[in-house]
């Protein structure tokens, strides 16, 4: 007996911006993913691999080989490696997560490597991915950030998203929980 794919699959694409190439994760990214994801500032706001668990090299290997590509093929969203065009080095990740096909909504998530911070890469990537999502027919694109994570909130604001409010105690961290600031982008916002 065969089963039909229950969710659509987004096309595998490479997105180019002024400073970045957004492409699939590859084997060569494992070391930079690991070095990025063990960073204390990233771990402060993004409890990966799960709250209370340290990030390991095995987690980076699984991300690059299975988890990131599996999100697209499973119809859950899409993940891109943020690669600096000038150097070819991985400087972060950006993706579409929590995709609800029936409602045609999705959320942009991102993190930036310690060596990639301060260059506007997260904003550049969030703009590219959110506009691409709208071009794919999504009717609502969200960014959610811990209320105290001012850098991530600035990315949402600089990317043209509208602040809607706060989801209280919405996300577990490695220690405790955090409220999330909710931002949205609708196709009409781009007209």
CATH number for the region 15-139 comes to 3.40.630.30
Please report the pLDDT score of residue 5 as a whole number. Answer: 54
Residue with tokens 């703009």: 127
Q: What is the pTM of this model?
A: 0.94
Please report the pLDDT score of residue 191 as a whole number. Answer: 83
Q: Is 150 exposed, middle or buried (0-12, 13-18, 19+ CB in 10 A)?
A: exposed
Please report the pLDDT score of residue 7 as a whole number. Answer: 83
What residues does each domain of the chain span?
15-139
**H helix or E strand, kind and range, residue 150:** helix 150-158
What phi, psi does 103 have (nearest 5°)? -95, -10
**Residues sharing a CB contact under 8 Å with residue 87, sequence separation 6 or more, in sequence order:** none
Q: Please state, as a whole number, how many other Cβ atoms lie within 10 Å of the Cβ of residue 162.
A: 12
CA-closest candidate to residue 39, choices 93, 95, 81, 75: 93
Whether the CB-CB separation of 78 and 101 falls below 8 Å is answered with no
Please report the pLDDT score of residue 135 as a whole number. Answer: 97
Tens of each residue's pLDDT in the chain, 191 residues? 444 457 899 999 999 999 999 999 999 999 999 999 999 999 999 999 999 999 999 999 999 999 999 999 999 999 999 999 999 999 999 999 999 999 999 999 999 999 999 999 999 999 999 999 999 999 999 999 999 999 999 999 999 999 999 999 999 999 999 999 999 999 999 98
Whether the CB-CB separation of 182 and 167 falls below 8 Å is answered with yes
What phi, psi does 31 have (nearest 5°)? -60, -45
Q: How far apart are CA 44 and CA 161, in angstroms?
A: 23
110-to-6, 7, 8, 86, 152 alpha-carbon distances in Å: 26, 23, 22, 20, 9
Sign of CA dihedral 82, 14, 16, 136: negative
């Amino acid at each position: 007996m065969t089963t039909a794919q229950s969710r659509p699959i987004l096309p595998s694409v490479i997105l180019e911006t002024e400073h970045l190439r957004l492409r699939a994760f590859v084997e060569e990214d494992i070391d930079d993913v690991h070095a990025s994801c063990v960073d204390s500032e990233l771990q402060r706001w993004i409890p990966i691999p799960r709250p209370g668990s340290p990030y390991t090299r095995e987690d980076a290997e699984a991300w690059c080989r299975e988890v990131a590509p599996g999100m697209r093929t499973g119809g859950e969203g899409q993940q891109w490696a943020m690669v600096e065009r000038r150097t070819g080095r991985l400087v972060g990740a950006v993706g579409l997560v929590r995709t609800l096909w029936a409602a045609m909504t999705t959320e942009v998530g991102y993190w930036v490597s310690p060596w990639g911070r301060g260059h506007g890469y997260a904003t550049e990537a969030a703009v590219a991915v959110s506009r691409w999502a709208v071009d794919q027919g999504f009717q609502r694109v969200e960014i959610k950030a811990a209320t105290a994570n001012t850098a991530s909130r600035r990315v949402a604001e600089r990317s043209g998203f509208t602040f809607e409010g706060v989801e209280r105690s919405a996300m577990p961290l490695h220690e405790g929980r955090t409220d999330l600031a909710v931002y949205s982008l609708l196709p009409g916002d781009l007209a």
